Chain A
Amino acid sequence: ETGVTQSPTHLIKTRGQQVTLRCSSQSGHNTVSWYQQALGQGPQFIFQYYREEENGRGNFPPRFSGLQFPNYSSELNVNALELDDSALYLCASSLEMEADTQYFGPGTRLTVL
């Protein structure tokens, strides 16, 4: 167990809706990264938060946004859902921004119909 939790486990939404996914990092880990993993693919980096500020972003549109809170929890928000947003969403926490080891949660499986 990595100590990183995510909720919900599964989620079904329809196209155009909005969704919020949640992650609770290991205590003391001030960096959280979010990834999107399509079936049969490796994770794709969405963005990283360090001490509550966005610290890097992958090739994802602005309708993907996030928040990080002082209690080591974070959120991923996706607006105007599209069918291609269906994927496993993973969060990973690390002790510091440059830390080598990222500890992953179990993921949230999002299905967009």
Chain B
Amino acid sequence: EDQVTQSPEALRLQEGESSSLNCSYTVSGLRGLFWYRQDPGKGPEFLFTLYSAGEEKEKERLKATLTKKESFLHITAPKPEDSATYLCAVQTDSNYQLIWGAGTKLIIKP
């Protein structure tokens, strides 16, 4: 069964303290892996798409990487405005549905 697991469930960091969020997946065939950010009471906001192992993408303080079994979202020197829930989703090559993880709630304290 296709499955996506995110860890940790929640992460509290001090402003400027770098860390990484993990997304591990088990799918029959990966078409793409997506990272989204979701603020409370809002819809997910697209961040990155990764297609193949070894691929990396960056946006401001965020960098996403992909291996054959997991993806990491690295956050460097975070600021309080980076506080949000970060969601990972995969799309298989058998259909276009997104299979989502439960998310990591990131809290950055000033």
Given A41-B102, A42-B102, the answer on whether A104 and B43 have CB atoms closer than 8 Å is yes
Q: How far is the CA of A44 from the CA of B49 in the complex (A)?
A: 19
Given A48-B96, A97-B96, A98-B96, the answer on whether A42 and B46 have CB atoms closer than 8 Å is no
Q: How far is the CA of A18 from the CA of B7 in the complex (A)?
A: 37
The majority secondary structure among interface residues of chain A is loop
For the A-B complex, the count of residue pairs with Cβ-Cβ distances under 8 Å equals 59
- List CB contacts (< 8 Å) of B75-110 with chain A: 87, 89, 91, 95-103
Q: B96 and A106: CB pair below 8 A? A: no
Q: How large is the interface on B (under 10, 10 to 19, 20 to 34, 35 or more residues)?
A: 20 to 34
Q: B100 and A42: CB pair below 8 A? A: yes
Cβ-neighbour of B95 out of A40, A56, A104, A109 (below 8 A): A56
Instruction: Please tell me if B42 contacts chain A, counting CB pairs below 8 Å.
Output: yes
The majority secondary structure among interface residues of chain B is strand
Instruction: Please tell me if B44 contacts chain A, counting CB pairs below 8 Å.
Output: yes
Contact with A along B40-60 (1 / 0, CB 8 A): 011111100100000000000
14 additional A-B pairs beyond A41-B102, A101-B46, beta carbons within 8 Å, are A2-B45, A33-B98, A40-B102, A42-B87, A42-B89, A42-B100, A44-B100, A45-B98, A48-B97, A56-B97, A98-B96, A102-B98, A104-B36, A107-B43
